[in-house]
Structure 1
Amino acid sequence: MYICYLILALLFYIVYVRYKRYERIKLLLKKYSSVKNNHEAAFEITYMTSKLELPFISVKSLEFAFFRVLGIPNISKIIGSTGEMVYHCGKRYDDTDLIIREFCENPLDSDRAKTAIKRMNFIHKFYPIENQEMVYTLSLFICEPPRWINEFGWRKLMDIETEAIYEYWKEIGIRMGIKEIPPTYDDMVKFKEDFEAKYMIYSKSNPAATEGSIRLFLSPVPPFLQPFARKIIYSLLDDHFRIAMDYPKQPTWLVFLIKFLLKTRALFIRYLMLPRAIPIARVPDKPILMTGNKYPNNHICATNFNSDEMESSKIYIPRFHPYEHTYLNGYKIEELGPKKFEKGKLGKLGTIQPDSISMTSH
């Protein structure tokens, strides 16, 4: 009898989880029929998808997206020449991650998002990056999350979620001053595939630039497990990218096992875990204000200060540190980036209008 009750309770729980799991997306589908040229709505949906619904896969997809860009020799040479990915990889990761999170975890029209994009634009102007390479990098941030989520997430993305990811990152691309952004998500996928077919080839600068990233990704793993963990990273790479990096092909059983475990995790979440109530955001909602020479212990929440005090003293303490504790004592958005760049210097926001966007051709 007790077994029957337990089975009924489990079935009820599964049905309840199923209902709650799709509750948020159903509400958004009622609220929006399209998000075309609406970056505010696109932010709301993208934030829900990446911070509440599918945070783990979303983060990993973006980490591998940044990893993937180093399969283009011209880009890997530029990044490798700075030495940041070799000698300061942890800081480079945190600088990039925090700048991106400032405009992905805050609305694009907020002061914080604008400051982060301006800071990124200032840094980029010192590197000889061609426009089509900027479009390619943008395409990875648009195309990789849907690809990873649809393969390893607990559910596939709704069309409006894919559209929202495209619209939001397209607007970011516009504000970065990127020209000739493909006009639709499907066009962006085609651009990415064509670009990789032409430019993703082996160069010794590719693995040299990525080695620091791999070591950083492996840093939380106990040393004796790191060789096997490295194989896991290799097993998640498609053949084209793997060959461009000159990484060894992994056994079929290992590739199958890793993908099986990720999909099993997805099923467990889908049927047995209630949806997340608190978003996984790394940047804090509010800054703190330094009250002396010691921090983070000697600080208070920045609420009752005039604008001049605020602008000169805003410090943001990350909620967590994925790898190294680079900014344990906090950061200022306008100071993120390599130490050689002048602190507080910002670039300008791009002014390309959406109706001027056209498909890049090769």
Structure 2
Amino acid sequence: MKRYDRLREILQLDPERDFLRIYRLMAAYEFPWDITRALELALYRTYAVPRIGGLLARTGEFTDRPQKRYDDTALLLDAVMEHGFDSEDGRTALRRINRMHRSYDIGNDDMRYVLSTFVVVPKRWIDAYGWRRLTEHELRAMVAYYRTLGRHMGIQDIPETYAGFERCLDSYEAAHFAWDEGARRVSDATLGLMASWYPAPLAPLARGASMALLDDSLLRAFRYAPPKPAVRAAVRGALRLRGRAVRLLPPRGKPHYARQNPQIKGYRDGYRLAELGTFPVPGSAGCPVPHAGGGPS
């Protein structure tokens, strides 16, 4: 297989009908590292909205157990992508996601904003640092994938196009990014978690590299001092160089899923999807969308 053969396969598929297949090829074959990093940044951005970051701080989950929350979030979201919306594992993951969210008072606007980060941040990341840019074909499939995920989460008024998702994200952040003490604690815990993935002598460098990827709006919201321009340039330049190096490598022959990431550290002996996440209120609703078996899951 040659470097662009999988892209040729993607371009032969219908982005509206085959969106799951296309997104799986993107996330597990073409850009697994980039999409993982981009989704980490996407979720991190949401902390700068005080209603979201403050709620996460009050639960204590992201400050007291950041590794477990990271693992559970990645594994649940990835199970849907790997197995599909109508699979047993996909339905189990969706039930867990929805029952956690519906245990708290989370408004539709906040949920739609979080969904928008899953579309916009990976596109921007890959265009900046990936080994190639996304095609319009792939972007349409990614929009269709996350619109479907949003419907399964009961989100209303989901944007229909990438431009709509981008407007949703940019306008929401402009209106709602602000300082919140609890959100800052969640941010600090998350940056600490990412630094902990590296040997102790490298932890300060890892934290500094993470800070160099934050834009000015995030830095202001969390009241972080801006990184030195030279540090920011070095980190972002290194990521662009990585992308160019990956372009010269042969294409991935086997899929890579989140459960294979070295950052997933809490389940060395395996896990059950039905046991991931938190269980604050028993009996909360599952997925609101009817599945192939008939009725909601």
Q: TM-score range by the shorter chain?
A: over 0.9
2:235 to 258, 269, 278: 258
Using the alignment, how far apart are the partners of 1:91 and 1:268 within structure 2?
32
How far is the alpha carbon of 1:341 from its aligned partner? 5.4
Using the alignment, how far apart are the partners of 1:154 and 1:341 within structure 2?
44
How far is the alpha carbon of 1:107 from its aligned partner? 1.4
Whether 1:72 and 2:49 are equivalent positions in the alignment is yes
Whether 1:280 and 2:234 are equivalent positions in the alignment is no
Change (3 A) 1:167 1:148: same
Whether 1:21 and 2:3 are equivalent positions in the alignment is yes
Using the alignment, how far apart are the partners of 1:141 and 1:207 within structure 2?
21
Whether 1:337 and 2:265 are equivalent positions in the alignment is no
TM-score w.r.t. structure 2 length?
A: 0.93
The answer to whether the 8 A contact 1:99-1:333 is kept is: yes
Structure 1 unaligned runs (5+)?
1-18, 284-318, 353-362
Counterpart of 2:38 in structure 1 is 61
How far is the alpha carbon of 1:339 from its aligned partner? 5.5
Change (3 A) 1:146 1:320: closer
**1:191-237 CA distance string (max 9 Å, x none):** 11000000011222221112221111111222222222211111101
Structure 2 unaligned runs (5+)?
291-297
Counterpart of 1:348 in structure 2 is 286
- Using the aligned pairs only, state the percent identity: 30
CA RMSD for the aligned pairs?
A: 1.7
How far is the alpha carbon of 1:180 from its aligned partner? 0.9
**1:140-165 CA distance string (max 9 Å, x none):** 01111111000000000011111111
Counterpart residue identity of residue 275, structure 1: P
The answer to whether the 8 A contact 1:115-1:346 is kept is: no
Counterpart of 1:10 in structure 2 is none
Using the alignment, how far apart are the partners of 1:247 and 1:223 within structure 2?
22
TM-score w.r.t. structure 1 length?
A: 0.77
Please say which structure displays the higher CA radius of gyration: 1
Counterpart residue identity of residue 9, structure 2: L
How far is the alpha carbon of 1:348 from its aligned partner? 2.5
Using the alignment, how far apart are the partners of 1:167 and 1:339 within structure 2?
30
Change (3 A) 1:187 1:320: closer
1:105 to 78, 82, 89: 82
Runs of 4+ aligned residues of structure 1 deviating over 6 Å after TM superposition are none
Counterpart residue identity of residue 331, structure 1: Y
Change (3 A) 1:346 1:259: same
SS at match of 1:20: coil
Using the alignment, how far apart are the partners of 1:246 and 1:190 within structure 2?
25
The answer to whether the 8 A contact 1:149-1:155 is kept is: yes
SS at match of 1:278: coil
Using the alignment, how far apart are the partners of 1:72 and 1:346 within structure 2?
25
Using the alignment, how far apart are the partners of 1:67 and 1:218 within structure 2?
14
**1:319-348 CA distance string (max 9 Å, x none):** 454143x22222221221126555xx6733
Counterpart of 2:295 in structure 1 is none
Using the alignment, how far apart are the partners of 1:320 and 1:157 within structure 2?
23
SS at match of 1:71: coil
Counterpart residue identity of residue 279, structure 1: P
SS at match of 2:204: helix
Using the alignment, how far apart are the partners of 1:217 and 1:282 within structure 2?
16
Using the alignment, how far apart are the partners of 1:24 and 1:346 within structure 2?
41
SS at match of 2:224: coil
Using the alignment, how far apart are the partners of 2:102 and 2:9 within structure 1?
42
SS at match of 1:21: coil
Whether 1:129 and 2:106 are equivalent positions in the alignment is yes
Counterpart of 1:242 in structure 2 is 219
Counterpart of 1:188 in structure 2 is 165
Using the alignment, how far apart are the partners of 2:281 and 2:261 within structure 1?
25
Change (3 A) 1:116 1:346: farther
How far is the alpha carbon of 1:349 from its aligned partner? 1.9
Counterpart residue identity of residue 251, structure 2: P
Counterpart of 1:205 in structure 2 is 182
How far is the alpha carbon of 1:245 from its aligned partner? 1.2
Using the alignment, how far apart are the partners of 2:271 and 2:289 within structure 1?
28
SS at match of 2:47: helix
Higher RCO, 1 vs 2 (CA within 8 Å, ≥6 residues apart): 2
Change (3 A) 1:323 1:99: closer
Using the alignment, how far apart are the partners of 2:201 and 2:78 within structure 1?
32
Whether 1:179 and 2:156 are equivalent positions in the alignment is yes
